[in-house]
Amino acid sequence: MITLDEGSGGKAMYELIKKIRTELNRTRIKSKFKSDWKNTDDDGATLNLSNLNFRNIVFTTDSYTVSPIFFPGGDIGKLSLCGTLNDLSVMNAVPVGMSLSLIIEEGFEKENLMKIISSIGKISSETKIPVVTGDTKVVEKGKIDKIMINTAGIGITKKVISNSGLKVGDKIIVSGGIGEHGIALLSKRFDYRTNLISDCAPIFEQVRKISEYVTAMKDPTRGGIAASLNEMAEKSKVRIVLDEDKIPVKREVKAVCELLGLNVYEIASEGRFVCGVKAEYAEKCLKILKKFNDGASMMGEVVEGKGVIMKTAIGGTRILDVPSGKLVPRIC
């Protein structure tokens, strides 16, 4: 059990932090960036940039509270590292270093903490992206719900991809089935039996393979594709027209949404992205993405106008609006 002592700046805290570090390093990251980071035991970590060839750094942050903290396909640790890695990825940045800030409730099981740290370590190891700096706070019982995590990340890139770069004529591609993260969480929360697992995963390998053809990109997390496509359309000053038929939704996701009256287009994914690609390269990109995930789909196109319109299966059209009101479930 975690005690307040372990967040107090004293001996107990240093011991806890040492355990966390060990767990994160246990995975022995072999990264060309890792050795470039110094002072990782100091107040901040430093990166000597002299040897890196790039023009821009990209900087992003996200805080994660999720219930349940362990869910099919992941946990809050995996989620918090992937989420921030993915925010860098959709901007075409190669992540070079991450921060990890933990706020832990007094009495939280140390075993569970170490499970969470271990899944962060695993993703860090698989993606070769080091966690280079961090912070650990322990708060009185009842002041938070178990654990909250903030991650921030720095990436480097020669060419930034923005979410506002859609051009008329572009095709809209999604990298896999939507809503699987939100529905996996919700199923677990309601003890609904399903084989569905969260899609939570890093996306940057996929992004890297197609980024030269991409005009705009975003990950459909909070608010699902309804939120992210509307944001892209608005910022790009264009209209997106979707074929409802071609929006990839797994059977189990559809079933739970129908059961609970949820709009599947508003449900979060945590390992998917939506992007605009130049029409002439759209088939090529789709083929590449299908190698990673069979659910990848060219689901729409960009035209003049504004907003997001959906051509329905029965031949009609309707507006896919920005979500409003409380979203179920809270997933990030």
User: Of 275-294, which residues contact a copy of itself (CB under 8 A)?
Assistant: none
Is 27 near a copy of itself (CB under 8 A)? no
Is 260 near a copy of itself (CB under 8 A)? no
C-alpha distance from residue 34 to each of 26, 136, 244 (Å): 14, 21, 44
CA 122 centroid distance within chain: 16
Rank residues 234 and 243 by Cβ distance to a copy of itself and give the closer one: 234
3-state SS class at 50 = coil
Is 134 near a copy of itself (CB under 8 A)? yes
Is 174 near a copy of itself (CB under 8 A)? no
Among 85, 88, 129, 201, binds a copy of itself (CB under 8 A): 88
Give the nearest distance from C-beta 82 to a copy of itself in angstroms.
13
- Give the span between the Cα atoms of 79 and 199, in whole angstroms: 10
Give the nearest distance from C-beta 128 to a copy of itself in angstroms.
17
Phi, psi of 138 (to 5 degrees): -120, 130
Binding mask 199-218 for a copy of itself (x = CB under 8 A): -------------------x
- Enumerate residues 46-75 that contact a copy of itself by CB under 8 A: 46-50, 54-63, 65
Q: Are 192 and 252 in contact (CB under 8 A)?
A: no
Among 101, 118, 194, 263, binds a copy of itself (CB under 8 A): 101
Site size toward a copy of itself (CB under 8 A) is: 84
Q: Which residues are within 8 A (CB) of 58 and not within 5 positions of it... i.e. 6 or more apart? A: 88, 91, 93, 154, 155, 156, 157, 160
Is 145 near a copy of itself (CB under 8 A)? yes
Q: Which stretch binds a copy of itself (CB under 8 A): 6-14, 191-199, 291-299, 302-310?
A: 6-14
Are β-strands 74-75 and 70-71 bridged in parallel, bridged antiparallel, or unpaired? antiparallel
Q: Which residues are within 8 A (CB) of 135 and not within 5 positions of it... i.e. 6 or more apart? A: 99, 100, 101, 102
Among 19, 110, 122, 137, binds a copy of itself (CB under 8 A): 137
Measured in residues, the chain has a length of 332
Q: Which stretch binds a copy of itself (CB under 8 A): 115-123, 168-176, 221-229, 297-305?
A: 221-229
- Give the span between the Cα atoms of 329 and 177, in whole angstroms: 18
